[in-house]
Amino acid sequence: MALLPALLGTPALAQEAAPLLTPKPVFVPGLYETESRNSAFQDQPANGQVCIASADFDAFRRETIAQYEASPQFLKACKPSDTRSLADGFAFAMDCRDSKIVLTFHFSKDLVSSTNQTLITRRPEHSSEILTLMRRVGECPGQAKPGKDM
């Protein structure tokens, strides 16, 4: 939970951090195999497949954050509080009733990892972290290969 203390110690920011001066992370749309592990239930991984159709890293980031900001259920209990660029991805935090959530995404060509850190403010011993690893395994059904016109 290295990112969590850093974000908890900063004031809530509504604007984006300064743009990266290094190249943007690479993201390739397609079909990804996933495995998620919750720190509280290490021996019970969840596996699946997901089609991620975002055109590139910027679209993935924009679409991911927009899903949270447009969800009435989410907005009843939480509000976005901070977004940060990382050399290989991005992170954003949310202030929720009795908790703080930090989502972090790291990218490399055909791999995406995400960490969902939840700090339960009244009961920190019940806080948890979910790590999800996603490996690209091919194209989504009906998807053109990257770089090819449809």
Helix, strand or coil for residue 73?
A: helix
The full DSSP string for 120-150 is ESS-GGG-EEEEEEEEEEEPPTTPPPTT---
- Give residue-wise pLDDT tens across range 87-138: 999 999 999 999 999 999 999 989 999 999 999 999 999 999 999 999 999 9
Task: Work out whether strand 78-86 and strand 41-52 pair parallel, antiparallel, or are unpaired.
Answer: unpaired
- Give residue-wise pLDDT tens across range 48-91: 999 999 999 999 999 999 999 899 988 899 998 899 999 999 99
- Is pTM beyond 0.85 here? no
User: Which H or E run contains 63?
Assistant: helix 57-69
Instruction: With beta carbons less than 8 A apart as the criterion, state whether 120 and 4 touch.
Output: no
Residue 5 pLDDT class (50, 70, 90 cuts)? very low
Residue 19 pLDDT class (50, 70, 90 cuts)? low
Instruction: With beta carbons less than 8 A apart as the criterion, state whether 145 and 139 touch.
Output: yes
